[in-house]
A = this chain, B = another copy of it.
Amino acid sequence: MKIAIVGSGALGLYYGALLQQGGSDVHFLLRRDYQAIKNNGLKIYSINGDFKLPNVQGYNNSEDIGKVDLILVALKTFSNHSLKELITPLLSDKTEILTLQNGLGNEEMLADLFGEERIIGGIAFLCSNRGAPGEVHHLGAGRITIGEYKPSQSKRLEIISSIFNSCKIDCHTTNDLKKIRWEKLVWNIPFNGLSALLMQSVDSLLSLHHTRSLIRKIMLEVIKAANAQQLTENIKDVYAEKMLLFTDNMGVYKPSMQIDREEGRQIETEAIFRKPLEFAETTGIEMPLVEMLTTLLEQTELGRLK
């Protein structure tokens, strides 16, 4: 299976490296790390053991990769406007597109561009950061859950999952992609949002009674909106309490969006915040606290650009 990695940040490089190490034919579309990887290969520093790939098929344009069987999309969502240009040269009639991007709206956009039958979505729970060019630090987790964007009789989820598993990627399948996307938002919206807004780690946010209560209210808004999206089964309100306790156990953890802001990078307000508000609105559900958080983050981004 010929695989292209589109969006070679920490996540794309990490999974791509595991796939290559496991024997897949992986082609990386590179930008920042192109020269470093061409010269010195790709190094993964992982809690599961470090490894190095001296020879990596790296490219600085999609035309040179040519047609592939599977495209793994790991681009930051604020660069989605580039996807048409980046993906088109990689497509044959049978090419499948798996997006591991954050938030909502990515499958929809890819489906509009390339046809819904190709589209698979996935949620990655991965703690990783880019280091120097050509280096990735894998700090924890790594599980992927993949699901069809539209109902399908195909066995491709099982095939992809089994390839991933054979390459030491913990990959599962779901028949309700929407549900797991929204479940992830129940955590991402309050914790990525508030940590980026206030530049405080999750333990600090949870230490004040009023903030803990605000986080719970935000989670319940997201759960209510999720349950209006025709999921196979509802997310229960108790899921919020479960996520609070789960986060208590993380200790001094900085969500990725806080790190992005610390390092002066753009944050994914559209996919993780504004899109869920739009999806909720189509079913008549309002999320006033999420709306306020979204607005504050957008205003913060305006401040960054000044």
Q: Is B303 in contact with A211, judged by CB distance below 8 angstroms?
A: no
What is the CA–CA distance of A306 and B214 in the complex, to the nearest angstrom? Answer: 21
Q: Is A210 in contact with B303, judged by CB distance below 8 angstroms?
A: no
What is the CA–CA distance of A204 and B300 in the complex, to the nearest angstrom? Answer: 10
What is the CA–CA distance of A211 and B211 in the complex, to the nearest angstrom? Answer: 21
A295 at interface (Cβ–Cβ under 8 A)?
yes
Q: Is A198 in contact with B289, judged by CB distance below 8 angstroms?
A: no
Q: Which residues of B contact A226 (CB under 8 A)?
A: none
Q: Is the interface of A mostly helix, strand, loop or mixed?
A: helix
Q: How far does the Cβ of A238 sit from chain B's closest Cβ, in whole Å?
A: 22
Are A197 and B302 also in contact (CB < 8 A) when A288-B288, A288-B289, A289-B288 are?
no
A132 at interface (Cβ–Cβ under 8 A)?
no
Are A214 and B303 also in contact (CB < 8 A) when A208-B298, A298-B208 are?
no
Q: Which residues of B contact A194 (CB under 8 A)?
A: 296, 299
Q: How far does the Cβ of A133 sit from chain B's closest Cβ, in whole Å?
A: 32
Q: Which residues of B contact A288 (CB under 8 A)?
A: 288-289
Q: Which residues of B contact A211 (CB under 8 A)?
A: 295-296, 298-299
Q: Which residues of B contact A10 (CB under 8 A)?
A: none
A205 at interface (Cβ–Cβ under 8 A)?
yes
Q: Which of B199, B205, B295 contacts A208 (CB 8 A)?
A: B295
Q: Which residues of B contact A161 (CB under 8 A)?
A: none
Q: Is B295 in contact with A204, judged by CB distance below 8 angstroms?
A: no
Give the B-binding residues of A (Cβ under 8 A). Answer: 194, 197-200, 204-205, 207-208, 210-211, 213-214, 288-289, 291-296, 298-300, 302-303, 306
Q: Which residues of B contact A294 (CB under 8 A)?
A: 210
Q: Which residues of B contact A198 (CB under 8 A)?
A: 296, 299-300, 303
Known pairs A204-B299, A210-B294 / 20 extra A-B pairs, C-beta < 8 Å: A194-B299, A197-B197, A197-B296, A198-B296, A198-B300, A198-B303, A200-B302, A200-B303, A205-B299, A207-B302, A208-B295, A208-B298, A208-B299, A210-B295, A211-B298, A211-B299, A214-B291, A214-B292, A288-B289, A292-B293
Q: Is A208 in contact with B289, judged by CB distance below 8 angstroms?
A: no
What is the CA–CA distance of A256 and B302 in the complex, to the nearest angstrom? Answer: 21
5 closest cross-chain pairs (CB), A and B: A210-B295, A214-B295, A211-B299, A200-B303, A211-B295
What is the CA–CA distance of A198 and B298 in the complex, to the nearest angstrom? Answer: 11
Q: Is A302 in contact with B210, judged by CB distance below 8 angstroms?
A: no
Q: How far does the Cβ of A136 sit from chain B's closest Cβ, in whole Å?
A: 30
Q: Which residues of B contact A289 (CB under 8 A)?
A: 288-289, 292
What is the CA–CA distance of A299 and B196 in the complex, to the nearest angstrom? Answer: 13
What is the CA–CA distance of A231 and B40 in the complex, to the nearest angstrom? Answer: 74
What is the CA–CA distance of A168 and B206 in the complex, to the nearest angstrom? Answer: 51
What is the CA–CA distance of A299 and B182 in the complex, to the nearest angstrom? Answer: 26
